[in-house]
Amino acid sequence: MHELTTGAASRLKAAGIAPDEADLDAQLLAARVLGWDRTRFITCWRDPAPSHFPAAFEKLIARRERREPISQILGMREFWRLEFEVTADVLTPRPETEGVVEAVLEHVPGATAIEDVGTGSGCIAVALATELPRLRLVAVDVSAAALAVARRNAIRHGVADRIAFVRGHGSTAAGNVDAIVSNPPYIPSGGRDSLPPEMRLYEPVSALFSGGDGLDVIRRLVEDASAGLPAGAFLILECGVDQAPAIREMIARATGLELLEIRPDLAGIPRTVVARRIR
């Protein structure tokens, strides 16, 4: 198996995948074919390959070589120490989005009602529901297929009875919640060609792009929070590279909203916006 796996990793590197990522992806795909966890695979990867392994492994490597995301090939991604189903209908959960969950737990630890706008896989809503047992959520998405994935993830983690799944645009229940949270689309519409193939070719357009400057959905969320949130409630959302100045100005102009912070992600990029309704 060692020779097959290292050869596959070389193919992935030649396809433009970063070396460390290519090595890991080859190991993960091999472990999937074998039905092993990665620890067992690393321990046993110099053993002879079972007869079924080469053909099945080749099919998965060919998909990754075409730059299909590893999360979609495996059908899952870890987020907040939980496993989430991932399909082509949802954005793959990413580590920087955990900042939204962290901000809620810090600023609204006693929340009993939260709305997650653009829920996608449901990763934010489900993670919050597992952390806050008294919390009920409304998870909103424009995509019925995404909502189906989110519902399955909520069932997987035993919190579906506390999440209502609603198809729609924007906030639907702002006046009755302690916070609106969101990982909205925030890539400028002209930025498609700059994206890696995993995003450009395989992730849903509606979860990526948001107008010429990438801020159309964030503007709507700020407007919804300004118009509908009760005093003391929060708007907590993720934003993109170089968007912090525009968002600061946007919130400064909004009636009744106060910007508390825009906290950086692990790469030092301002990423998680925290604002509060003050009147």
Instruction: Give the mean pLDDT per block of 10 residues along the chain (279 residues).
Output: 91 97 96 90 84 95 98 98 98 97 97 97 98 97 97 98 93 81 96 94 96 96 92 96 96 95 95 94
CA distance 140 to 30: 36
pLDDT at 39: 85
CA distance 277 to 227: 9
Structure tokens at 211: 């107008």
* Global confidence as pTM: 0.94
Residues 159/80, Cβ–Cβ less than 8 Å:
no
Q: What sign does the dihedral 107-111-115-119 (CA atoms) show?
A: positive
pLDDT at 174: 61
CA distance 63 to 182: 31
- Write the pLDDT tens digit of every residue in 175-212: 689 999 999 999 999 989 999 999 999 999 999 999 99
Q: What share of the chain is helix, strand, coil (3-state, %, to 5)?
A: 50, 20, 35
CA distance 257 to 131: 27
Task: Name the class of domain 80-277.
Answer: alpha beta
pLDDT at 254: 95
Residues 125/111, Cβ–Cβ less than 8 Å:
no
pLDDT at 173: 63
CA distance 103 to 132: 13
Q: 96 exposed, middle or buried (CB, 10 Å; 0-12, 13-18, 19+)?
A: middle
Which has the closest alpha carbon to 146: 203, 228, 83? 203
| First vs last C-alpha separation in the chain | 63
pLDDT at 115: 97
